[in-house]
Amino acid sequence: MTQPIRWLQDEIADRMLQKLDIVKLDVKDVLIVPDFPGKHFSFFAKRYPHANIHSLTEEGITRFEMGRSKAISHWRSLFRGDTSPLAHYLAKGKFNLPDNSVDLVFSDLLLQDLTDPRHFLRECWRVLREGGLITFSYLGPDTGKELRTLESGPIQFKNLLSPWDMHDMGDALLGERFSDPVMDMEFISLDYQSDALLLVDLEALKLLQMPASEGSKQGVLPKKMTLEVVYGHAWAIGKQLTQAQNSVAYIEVNQIGRKTR
């Protein structure tokens, strides 16, 4: 996302953290993906003061910007954890973290921009420790639904890369072995005073096939846009079990312990 839509990331992160506030979890390592300068640092610093914070930063954010933001929230953040570009994950499809190394994955408004969210879930499963938690938000398929009613014209719109509703995501979580998934959804309505402001946000949300500067010269657009925001979390439980088949989980022979008196 680009800078003009940063407020949205911060707002959704705040709502996610309110949901997380009631979860009891012993956190030693956190993975934030994507990471951005925002209010969530102060939450993690206060809630998990001794945790290592690993993060994947968005394109265009420098280490200096992230360090400054973390230092403002909590100086110890500078010395706990590590930071790397999100682009490295997108290129390699793999987090630069070992198996079973984090207790919490926090992902704010990323999944709608991934070609295959299932691969992301697999990587989260890999790095989460037994009993760890993934919590996330993303934009659902009804985002920008007002644009679909417009007649075809010079302004070209496009759908989200991964237009999954919350039922699709719930099924995917179960398919990737996560336990007790909880899904929720809300609509947020945005009002605009000009077409130019709307186009800037559409470009930031990757719903526009042309630069916002070109679209501002074309036609009349709706003065509002609806965002469908999907929230979810699930647990990494039973990691010692092999991949389930036909709803049955299988245990390797060497995982069966002998009963002792």
Instruction: Give the model confidence (pLDDT) of 31-84 as tens digits.
Output: 999 887 766 777 787 788 888 888 888 765 555 555 555 555 454 444 466 777
17-21, 150-154, 198-202, 242-246, range with the lowest pLDDT: 242-246
Tokens read off for 256: 């069966």
What confidence score (pLDDT) does residue 199 get? 86
Using the predicted structure, report yes or no on whether residue 155 has a pLDDT greater than 80: no
What pLDDT does residue 184 have? 95
What confidence score (pLDDT) does residue 95 get? 94
Q: How do residues 9-26 score in pLDDT, each as one tens digit?
A: 889 999 999 998 888 899
pTM: 0.83
DSSP string of 101-157, one letter each residue: -EEEEEEES-GGG-S-HHHHHHHHHHHEEEEEEEEEEEE-TTTTGGGGGSPP-SSPB
Contact between 103 and 97 (Cβ < 8 Å)? no
What would the two tokens of residue 129 be?
A: 């420790």
Q: Give the pLDDT of residue 75.
A: 43
Q: What is the pLDDT of residue 149?
A: 72
Q: Tens of pLDDT along 121-136?
A: 999 999 999 999 999 9
Residue 30, Cβ density class (10 Å: 0-12 exposed, 13-18 middle, ≥19 buried): buried
For residue 200, give the nearest of 218, 217, 187, 216 by alpha carbon: 216
Angstrom distance (rounded) from CA 56 to CA 156? 31
| Domains along the chain with CATH numbers | 3-144+161-196+225-255 (3.40.50.150)
Q: At what angle do helices 63-73 and 40-47 cross, to 10 degrees?
A: 50
